[in-house]
């Protein structure tokens, strides 16, 4: 038994020979925190889902899974991913659930160095959803597909009763092609590597929360939802081999995503908080709401772990792209404190950037 396992007085559930190691962290039922991207969600995946479906491909545990194919003497790699979107409200400053579903999926493919090609979409519609709203969402998805250079080639629609859904939920899956020579994955971070971010942190989460909580600021806050393949392609053109890890900091933000990388690569990560770009309005909103910008989601930014000798060239390429103007160096990969992320604070101290147990921001992606 590992240190974080809890012995329960209740017997395990057993359905037709399937034994579930519940309760996880002493939760006998699902709570909202199980979908937050934090420790509860990690427990759910590690102890419930992963053991049941274990295989080498699933074991990659990246934003997308890379699959190798061989036809005669021709070998090639594809990336495959799936995601579900349950954002509330459906419409928020800078976007809506439709374009979020497209951009979120193509970005997961791009984080494995894959050019997005095809998407599927499943719609779960709630009885009473205004047809105009659905039409607007569909039109936004179509525009997002054109901008990202992908085709939506398969879909499904289901309707649930009034009160059984938040208007509309969208599931999307995507397939992309990985160029030859590209090897990007969550386990490839190495001591000495440089940590880059493509822009300001926390924009999407704060934009959604500002609408939900009815908070107004002097500066308009907008979601940063955007397709990132073009930015990734520009980086790969500099030196594909120097790009070791790419991740988009969605649920859980920069803090949780870097912890996942640190654990997957078994390295330490040392950040400098003073260099992490955060918009003043986002910082003010986080202070008002009692949030840490490091844990607030983005939907149009990426984290890149890159070879130190190519970091400046890659940073320049990022800043030359429309979605990377505010790119910055924010830290380094270190051999010490493996699996742990630390941050040097503005007053010169150091803190551990841990993974929160429960949820911080519900339904923002």
Query: Could you tell me where the DSSP H helices lie in 149-292?
Result: 203-213, 229-239, 253-265, 280-289
pLDDT tens for each residue of 88-129: 899 999 999 999 999 999 999 999 999 999 999 999 999 999
Quote the pLDDT of residue 218.
66
Question: pLDDT-derived band of residue 12, with 50, 70 and 90 as boundaries?
Answer: very low
Q: Is the pLDDT of residue 259 over 70?
A: yes
Quote the pLDDT of residue 303.
98
Provide the token pair at 317: 């390429």
Between CA 3 and CA 236, with CA 262 as vertex, the angle to 5 degrees is 155
Provide the token pair at 145: 């597909």
Q: Is the pLDDT of residue 7 over 70?
A: no
pLDDT tens for each residue of 169-188: 999 999 999 999 999 999 99
Question: pLDDT-derived band of residue 70, with 50, 70 and 90 as boundaries?
Answer: confident
Q: Is the pLDDT of residue 280 over 50?
A: yes
- pTM higher than 0.85, yes or no? yes
Residue listed under structure tokens 């007053």: 347
Q: What value does the mean pLDDT of the chain take? A: 89
**58-81 average pLDDT score:** 88
Residue of 213 and 89 predicted with greater confidence = 89
**214-230 average pLDDT score:** 86
The full set of domains in the chain, from first to last, is 13-59 (no CATH), 62-178 (3.30.1330.10), 194-352 (3.90.650.10)
* CA distance from start to end of the chain: 35
Lowest mean pLDDT segment, chosen from 33-42, 323-332, 338-347: 33-42
CB atoms near residue 100 (< 10 Å): 31
Q: Is the pLDDT of residue 24 over 80?
A: no
Q: Is the pLDDT of residue 214 over 80?
A: no
Which percentage of the chain shows pLDDT scores above 90? 68
DSSP-based helix, strand, coil % in the chain, nearest 5? 35, 25, 40
Quote the pLDDT of residue 2.
42
Asked if 210 contacts 285 with a C-beta cutoff of 8 angstroms, the reply is yes
Exposure on the CB side of residue 15, measured as CA atoms within 13 A: 3
* Torsions phi, psi for 334 (to 5 deg): -125, 160
Q: Is the pLDDT of residue 362 over 80?
A: no
Q: Is the pLDDT of residue 229 over 80?
A: yes
Between CA 364 and CA 192, with CA 108 as vertex, the angle to 5 degrees is 105
162 to 103, 129, 165, 167, 234: CA distances (angstroms) = 28, 9, 7, 9, 46
**20-31 average pLDDT score:** 67
Task: Tell me the three-class secondary structure of 88-117, residue by residue.
Answer: CCCEECCEEHHHHHHHHHHHHHHCCCCEEE
Task: Select from 116, 117, 111, 88 the least CA-distant residue to 100.
Answer: 88
Provide the token pair at 193: 């590597």
Quote the pLDDT of residue 97.
97
Provide the token pair at 68: 């190798």
Q: Is the pLDDT of residue 22 over 70?
A: no
Quote the pLDDT of residue 201.
97
Report the alpha-carbon distance of residue 337 to residue 270 in Å, rounded: 9
């Amino acid at each position: 038994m590992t240190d974080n396992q809890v012995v329960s007085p209740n017997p395990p559930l057993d359905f037709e020979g399937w034994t579930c190691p519940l309760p996880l962290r002493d939760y006998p039922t699902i709570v909202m925190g199980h979908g937050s991207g934090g420790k509860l969600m990690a427990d759910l995946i590690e102890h419930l889902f992963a053991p049941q479906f274990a295989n080498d491909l699933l074991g990659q545990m990246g934003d997308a899974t890379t699959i190798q194919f061989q036809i005669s003497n021709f070998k090639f790699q594809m990336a495959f991913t799936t995601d579900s979107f349950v954002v509330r409200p459906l419409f928020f400053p800078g976007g809506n659930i439709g374009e979020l579903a497209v951009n979120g999926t193509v970005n997961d493919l791009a984080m494995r160095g894959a050019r997005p090609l095809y998407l599927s979409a499943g719609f779960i519609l709630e009885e009473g959803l205004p047809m105009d709203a659905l039409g607007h969402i569909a039109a936004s998805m179509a525009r997002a597909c054109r901008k990202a250079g992908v085709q939506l080639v398969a879909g499904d629609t289901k309707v649930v009763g009034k009160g059984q859904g938040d208007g509309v939920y969208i599931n999307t899956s995507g397939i992309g092609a990985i160029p030859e020579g590209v090897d990007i994955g969550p386990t490839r971070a190495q001591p000495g590597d440089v940590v880059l971010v493509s822009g300001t942190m926390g924009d999407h989460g704060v934009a959604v929360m500002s609408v939900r909580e009815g908070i107004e600021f002097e500066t308009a806050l907008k979601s940063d939802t955007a397709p990132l393949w073009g930015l990734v392609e520009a980086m790969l053109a500099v030196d594909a081999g120097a790009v070791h890890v790419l991740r988009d900091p969605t649920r859980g933000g920069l803090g949780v995503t870097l912890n996942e990388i640190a654990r997957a690569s078994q390295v330490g990560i040392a950040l400098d908080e003073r260099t992490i770009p955060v918009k003043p309005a986002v910082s003010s909103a986080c202070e008002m709401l009692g949030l840490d910008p490091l844990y607030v989601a983005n939907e149009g930014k990426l984290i890149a772990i890159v070879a130190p000798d190519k970091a400046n060239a890659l940073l320049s390429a990022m800043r030359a792209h429309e979605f990377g103007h505010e790119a910055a160096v924010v830290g380094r990969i270190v051999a010490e404190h493996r699996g742990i992320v630390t941050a040097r604070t503005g007053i010169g101290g150091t803190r551990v950037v841990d993974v929160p147990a429960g949820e911080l921001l519900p339904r923002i992606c």
